[in-house]
Structure 1
């Protein structure tokens, strides 16, 4: 399964003409409640982070801004529960995506690198 994810991630990075920056299965991803269930659109952003963190923060519309409600989960759980999100997770720091409701929007946000 991981081999398939890496292949699709490489294709994603090539599509956006970006460096392939994969994360490991053990690295942590920050998620809000509801993301793994997949009922609402998901917003993702990748910040520069310590090595044990992937840098990815994933939230949905139910996130109220309270960072204490966020959870850290291993990337392996994202692959298991939401492989549709895992596709984007080799994009470099500074990338954002919005996925859901038959929409896909992916872009680089230089402001993220300054946060």
Structure 2
């Protein structure tokens, strides 16, 4: 598996947009041992870089995600780090010997767009 974020972006033909280490991600810490690992990048806002990361099944529980600075991800979720430079609108799904990365324009629609 590639580990250079610029190579990941080049491979998928997209802009290299790494998050600032001082920004936060939404991460479901208690779910990280579950497979597959999901990551989705929304538009950055309010001190977040837009990334939301969880393992297994998504939950709508209010406390599903915790805020965590980007610079903690190499320790807590190293497998997602190479993908963090993908810009808003991208999704990542990882499992043992499996990688799926795709652009999802629906992620960029706002409530003002009627979605």
Could you state the TM-score of these two structures normalised by the residue count of structure 2? 0.83
Could you state the TM-score of these two structures normalised by the residue count of structure 1? 0.83
Runs of 5+ unmatched residues, structure 1: 1-6
Match of 2:11 among 12, 15, 21: 15
State the secondary structure of the residue aligned to 2:16: coil
Instruction: Summarize the alignment of residues 24-35 of structure 1 with structure 2, pairs less than 5 Å apart.
Output: 24-32=20-28, 33-35=30-32
Give the superposition deviation at 1:24: 1.4
Runs of 5+ unmatched residues, structure 2: 111-115
Counterparts of 2:38 and 2:57, CA distance in 1: 11
Give the superposition deviation at 1:39: 4.2
Answering whether residue 63 of structure 2 is matched by residue 93 of structure 1, we say no
Counterparts of 1:67 and 1:99, CA distance in 2: 24
Report the count of equivalent residues. Answer: 107
State the secondary structure of the residue aligned to 2:21: coil
* Alignment-derived partner of residue 65 in structure 1: 60
Counterparts of 2:56 and 2:38, CA distance in 1: 8
* Alignment-derived partner of residue 35 in structure 2: 40
Counterparts of 2:65 and 2:76, CA distance in 1: 17
Counterparts of 1:27 and 1:72, CA distance in 2: 10
